[in-house]
Structure 1
Amino acid sequence: MQTTIVTSHSDLPSNIARSNASRLTDQPSTEYRDLEIGNAPTLPADPPQHHDADSDNGYETDSPIWARRSPPWSWSRAGFVAWCKGPDPPHVHRIKPWFAKWQTAPAQLVERCLPRQRMKAAVLLGGIMSWVVIFLFWLKSSDVTQEVPGHGRPIKMSCHQRLWSNATDCGVNGEACLPFEGQSFAFRCPSGCAAAILLEPYTVGEKEYNYRPLVIGGEPAILDGHTTGVYRGDSSVCASALHAGIISNAGGGWGVLHRTGERDKFESATQHGIESIAVKPHFPFSFTFQVPSGEDELDQYSDIRWRLFAFTVAVTATLSMTVTSAPAFYSAMYFMVWFQVAMASDPPTSNFYDKVSIFLSRFVPGAFVGFVLYHFWVKHTLRNLDAHLEKTILWLGGCWLGALNTDTFDRLPISRLTPHDIQQQPGAVTALLIIVSFLIGVTFLQAYGFRQEGRFFPMLRLYAIFVLGIVILALVPYMKLRIHHDLLALLLIPGTAMQTRPSLLFQGILIGLYINGIARWGFGAILQTPASMLDGGKLGTPPPTITQPVIDHQNRIVFTFGDLPTRVDGISVVVNDVLRFEGLKSNSSQDVDDFAWSRRFDNETEYFRFGYAHARALGGFWYEDFTEPATWAGNGSFSLPTVEMTLW
């Protein structure tokens, strides 16, 4: 005998019936839906959803607890697939605010004062425009500073900028980097220059250095009656000024640089957290600094980007607490964070008008990408969200954390996500393992959340397409796959498309990373040639084979090269890190002239490096890898290089 039980609302317990009745009538208010300007919504509205509170996990889901049916875990294939499909009906996450009354109070105050949507839109746009005007006025006024007496207006320099880039760029005898002495100029450095390190091996004397500030010399000495440090001309200017105490790492600053010509014996010194490099041989170019005369002058030229950042954070936090429309909030934050990064926090250039031009050229396509991100993924996290304080702390705070990548994640010992860089940078493998382990944990957390929402397999298919695309790109011949941090953010953002507190934080960080990457560097190529990725590093070409030279006497040495390979056009010689010789083949012969070198200073040890040269069709040369330094000792003995030595 079968018994059929028909259940209606009247058959349910009274408290459940009342809950269902209130649920059917108490729909989410359209007040907090898409902000409308006139009758056209800024983004498409979403279909209404029903939500129920789940007091156990702090989320709200689309079905009551008593109606949930989740398949049990099973090790069988069919059971595992059924479990991955999630409960029926799906549990759509929605954050239940902690202290909801306090989190919604600012938005409710705005609603009472500005009940109409057009009024809200006008105030929001007016506030953003006022912020832009104040921001630009403050930034521009910092550029229009007083001239330094006798030296003019300070020249803005980046943390990595050098007056002597390298031996080959400066040409034979360094003539492309003149003048070496008799000139002074005022300069201005940004903050954070202690983190400006070498990213490719750089030869100084007999050794190679990498992943450290390029500061050569600087030991305090008496020069023209003043105690100062003398730095070799290829040192980074701002890092050297920080080493000398002219500027601060926190606020940057200004100084006056004096070119002091040829020097030798650049001694090492550890000052202000930077250890400089020592090298004995002479170099045609050196410089010293003039110490600012007073604290007021130092503050006048200090970096204001942190003050602008504090101002922008205050404005964005205020808007985050009061703007309830998800598209309006996202659009405002996206624009303001991008503007802050491009114009102040991590600008691509120091010139004010160039910054404005680059900002406009990159923001227009970047805004389209931002719209796509919202339309497909971000809206799942931000729409119908009443936890405004949590949104401000987690999403907006995470966004700023990612947007300030230069001062946050760039501190990790991973400069670029390429096998070459990861293998050669100290600590990169360990840091990568930690990051990958963290990402694996986050992946399982997010995957479980998508399972609860019934979106596990659609998301799995999406990431399968991503992985397949990356594998195909990695197999392209003669090209190297390079995943920039902005591209990595784009790949991971879909995995945050649900409304949970972890997703708020992760999505904010990823949006910030994407903004930083494009605002600072522009849209980078996914595939690059190996040479373009080296950025001054070694090409991996075989260096020339050098035979023992002829030493006429203790202070004169002669190199004979013989026939060169047919693929090259000549050979170059670098002496003490200065290009001194370029021997080119003649039309009728494969050999080049001998290179004779006389010691400039008696008993001084000198270092020689040799590299093949190629003539460019439009003029100039490019160079294959140079040999390791060969040593000509002060006593006249000569030794060829043995093993490569790189100091980290």
Structure 2
Amino acid sequence: MTVLDNDKAAYTSREDEVDEEAQLLNEDYEQLELTSPGTGPDTASRHPPDQPSHRRRPSARSFFPRHRAPRWLAWLYGPDPPRIQSLRPWLPSVQELPVRALHAALPRSWHRTVLFALFLVAWSVSLAGPALLSRTPSGGGAVEVRHLSCDDSLWRPGNECGLEGVNCHPFANASFAFRCPRGCTGAKTVHSQHFVGTQEIEGEVLPPVVGGGSGSPFRGDSSICRAAIHAGVVDDQGGMRSSACGVVNLVGEYYQYFSSSANGVSSMGFGSHFPVSFKVAKADDGLRCVDGRWMSIPATVFLSMLLALFTTSPAVFFFTVFLGLFAQVSLLDAPLPSAPMALYIERLIPALLVALLIYHTCIRRTLSPPASASGPASRPATTNLTKLLLWLFPAWLSAFATHIAPYFLTDDSPARRVPTPVIAGLSVLLFIVLLTLQARTFYLESRLPDYLVFYAAVCLVLAILATPIPSLHVRPAHHTLAVLLLPVSAAHTGASMILQGLLTGVFVHGAATRGFGPGKVLVPITWFNAGLKNAGPYDGSSYGDPAAGITSEIPLPDLVPPLVERLSKGDWTEDPSTFVEGGLKLWLGWRPLKNPDVEFEVEDGKSGTRRKEKIAGVSVLINDVEMFRGWFSEKPLQDQVFRYPRRPPGEQVHMDEFFRFSFVTESGRALRYTEAGTWFANGTFSQGEGYW
């Protein structure tokens, strides 16, 4: 054998070692060869001088090979040959200890399989067990404690409670225990079509509280937690405190709600009747009000830490952590006693399919352990502690942040005093730094052109979806955006682990709370009624785009002058001396709708899907409760008549009543209600200002 043959044999053996290292890293999609044993992680594998360039074997395919690129773009391909980046573990001998100890104690694979099965059972019990504590004994029975958010109420906005509130029963003779979170005094939420008499509550505001002053109960659409704080039943600290619990007692219809301010909460007044009211009281000693959801967080954190330290398989680690975090976030968002498992499964299946895709494209590359001089038989875990600190901790942070932050940030906490723009600016800066480091990594590994083309295509698609066309006026949901950005983290570096952990947590949080099915991936840029507050009365003119059959302006019902009829007891007589008042009756009618074929986009509240529907009827709210719904299929709009009686004096306390009108679509969804017209206690009807 010649010297040249010996050199070729040595080089062939060297290539076999490189292939073995590539298998350990699961890097079968690298663009060029990995570093050879004994060289630094940033050093490229060098070919012998006599090795022909055409015999170099790339380990992955590039969509845009270097030799086909024009000269002015050649700099994007980085160094030639590329320098594959690899994470340098901290104290590898220390990080290997847990796995070596596990293999020494359980040398057979089936032993470790049984241990892993027991581990999964323990994790499942830690999640389901604390949720069962939400059912606690009280008075010899089982009472479910409802875990409320700051804006939860007994009444839904607009006409979602149905005619005369049929979908929001019961109105009286019912009670339940509840628990409130921390920070409801100043927590703002987005409201749409929330009315209190002549007032309209819309936008990002504090959840309203109506009544509670001068001994009056609270109106049914009041925020329960803020009403309880106002009444002094619970405090604003929430969390695990027993003072976060109370009992709601439904007392039915009430006729006067007085405003007041107490305990940092101001309530509104309402001088008319409403079908459902409630009072709040402290929970009795027999009710052990426990928020069991939060007890499972320490177990989830501890068990995921054990998994990170004792496993070397990226698939086992990722999918187990994914399922555990998904279940934990679902539990925090809606406790198991009140959330059907069907909803959990409905959200989990599509999310699991997406998780499988992102694992094979980017997760596996980052979480694979690097090669070790001790050989593959020893199963080294040289990045397990690194994986715990740089990947798992950011995943916890982004998955749990929105749920646990209100429970640990008090009003006097320094974090509360940091302005929101500062926090947002620091977050954006961190993200820019991570993206810059990833761009450098892809440049050194000659992968930058492929990523630039991929994200150029993504931006083009998003730009098309963000066009002013109503059916496409959407943007990706936050967990969809996280999935689109995850390919940027497909590298074996510390910055990749941090970025990937953060994005994975955002993905898990969004998929568990919102879902990853149809209608949840893309969300409208503007909410259904956003930007339509100034829509005026329909004047018969065309609106929207008739060719497209879609409109961006919502018409309002055009009311004809109402008629107030005075009733008598007995037969009608023209002699005033013989007239005995029998009450009043209000007659309402509308002018015809000139273009009933225009379609509007409505969102299904359950599935989140958006569909186009035509105007199909008219709705009337009286004191913010739907009292009439007329369908055009039964009678044209101009023939619709709504009669509303008022009983005679002595039988009913007369007070002002407030009327609003809206068109409804085929599914019964109200488009937008008019401003309030008032039927005064003296019998006169005012159509009001503005729209009227």
Residue in structure 1 matched with residue 44 of structure 2 by the alignment? 63
The answer for the alignment partner of 1:249 in structure 2 is 238
Q: How far 1:532 moved relative to its partner?
A: 12
Match in the other structure for 1:284? 275
* Counterparts of residues 267-416 of structure 1 (less than 5 Å): 267-269=259-261, 271=263, 275-294=266-285, 300-342=288-330, 344-347=331-334, 350-351=337-338, 354-355=340-341, 357-385=342-370, 386-404=382-400, 406-407=402-403
Q: Does 1:237 align with 2:221?
A: no
Contact 1:405 1:516 in 2 (8 A): no
Alignment counterpart, residue 528 of structure 2, candidates 526, 530, 534: 534
Contact in 1 for aligned 2:163/2:628 (Cα 8 Å): yes
Letter in 2 for 1:303: D
Mapping 1:65-104, distance limit 5 Å? 81-104=73-96
Q: TM-score, normalised by structure 1?
A: 0.73
Distance 1:562-1:306 versus aligned 2 partners, 3 A rule: closer
Shift of 1:498: 0.9
| Contact 2:387/2:497, CA 8 A, preserved across alignment | yes
Q: Contact 2:559/2:591 (CA < 8 Å) preserved in 1?
A: no
Distance 2:658 2:337 in 1: 37
- Aligned counterparts of 2:272 and 2:492: Cα–Cα separation in 1: 63
Q: Could you tell me whether the CA contact under 8 Å between 2:154 and 2:168 is conserved in 1?
A: yes
Q: Does 1:164 align with 2:155?
A: yes
Distance 2:563 2:635 in 1: 27
Structure 1: gaps of 5 or more residues: 1-9, 11-19, 35-42, 68-76, 224-229, 412-426
CA distance in 2, matches of 1:486, 1:432: 18
1:357-394 Cα distance to aligned partner (Å, 9 max, x none): 44445444433432322222112211125233332122
Q: Equivalent residue for 1:491?
A: 484
- Please point out which of 414, 437, 460 is paired with 1:445: 437
TM-score by length of 2: 0.68
SS in 2 for 1:378: helix
For residues 317 and 466 of structure 2, what CA distance do their matches in structure 1 show? Answer: 38
**Cα 1:349–1:548, aligned 2, differ >3 Å: closer, same or farther?**
farther
Distance 1:435 1:641 in 2: 46
- The partner residue of 1:184 within 137, 150, 174 is 174
Q: 1:389 to 1:514 in 2, by over 3 A?
A: same
What is the aligned-residue identity percentage?
25
SS state at 1:478 partner: helix
Task: Indicate the residue corresponding to 1:203 in structure 2.
Answer: 195
Structure 2 CA distance for aligned equivalents of residues 83 and 493 of structure 1: 25
Contact residue 262 and residue 285 of structure 1 kept, 8 A: yes
CA offsets per residue over residues 602-637 of structure 1, 9 Å max, x none?
A: 7855433222356x5xxx844332112235677868
CA distance in 1, matches of 2:462, 2:405: 23
Provide the residue aligned with 2:416 in structure 1: none
SS of residue paired to 2:506 = helix
Q: CA deviation at 1:246?
A: 4.3
Q: Which residue of 1 aligns with 2:128?
A: 136
Deviations 1:481-501 (A, max 9, x none): 341222111101001111222
Aligned length: 571
Equivalent residues of 1:309, 1:340 under 8 A apart: yes
- Counterpart Cα distance in 2 of 1:550 and 1:292: 50
Say whether residues 1:507 and 2:488 are aligned partners: no
- 1:164–1:233 CA contact under 8 A, matched in 2: yes
Shift of 1:468: 3.4
Matches of 1:382 and 1:584 in 2, distance apart?
59
The structure 2 residue matched to 1:544, chosen from 557, 570, 579, is 557
Residue-by-residue CA offset, 1:30-63 (whole Å, 9 max, x unaligned): 89948xxxxxxxx8978984268999xxxx3243
Residues 249, 279 of structure 2: 8 Å contact kept? yes
Which SS does the other structure have where 2:161 is aligned? Answer: coil
| Structure 2: distance between partners of 1:530 and 1:552 | 46
Structure 2: distance between partners of 1:381 and 1:80: 32
Q: Find the aligned partners of 2:24 and 2:108 in 1 and give their Cα distance.
A: 13
Aligned counterparts of 1:207 and 1:580: Cα–Cα separation in 2: 19
Per mean C-alpha deviation after superposition, the further-off stretch among 490-499 and 157-166 is 157-166
1:573 and 2:620 correspond: yes
Instruction: Tell me the amino acid that sits aligned with residue 590 of structure 1.
Output: Q
Q: Is the alpha carbon distance of 1:535 and 1:395 closer, same or farther for their aligned partners in structure 2, counting shifts above 3 Å?
A: farther
Aligned residue number for residue 601 of structure 2:
none
Q: 1:572 to 1:118 in 2, by over 3 A?
A: closer
Alpha-carbon deviations, 1:114-169, whole Å to 9, x = none?
Answer: 455554444333322332234434433x14421446x8522635535433223523
SS at 1:367's partner residue? Answer: helix
Contact 1:231 1:286 survives alignment (8 Å): yes
Give the whole-Å Cα distance in 2 for the aligned partners of 1:206 and 1:100: 69
Residue 463 of structure 1 deviates from its aligned partner by 1.7
- Following superposition, the deviation at residue 451 of structure 1 comes to 0.7
Contact residue 131 and residue 336 of structure 2 kept, 8 A: no
Check whether the contact 2:619–2:661 (CA below 8 A) recurs between aligned residues: yes
Provide the C-alpha distance between the structure 1 equivalents of 2:557 and 2:420, rounded to a whole number of angstroms.
Answer: 32
Candidates 244, 254, 258, aligned match of 2:249: 258
Distance 2:92 2:126 in 1: 34
Unaligned runs of 5+ in 2: 1-6, 49-68, 371-381, 408-418, 533-551, 567-582, 597-614
**Letter of the structure 2 residue corresponding to residue 186 of structure 1:** F
CA distance in 1 between counterparts of 2:113 and 2:188 reads: 43
Conserved 8 A contact 2:213-2:258: no
Q: Distance between the aligned counterparts of 1:550 and 1:280, measured in 2?
A: 24
Judged with a 3 Å threshold, the aligned counterparts in structure 2 of structure 1 residues 236 and 51 are, in CA distance, closer, same or farther, namely: farther
Deviation at 1:87, TM superposition (A): 1.5
RMSD of aligned alpha carbons: 4.8
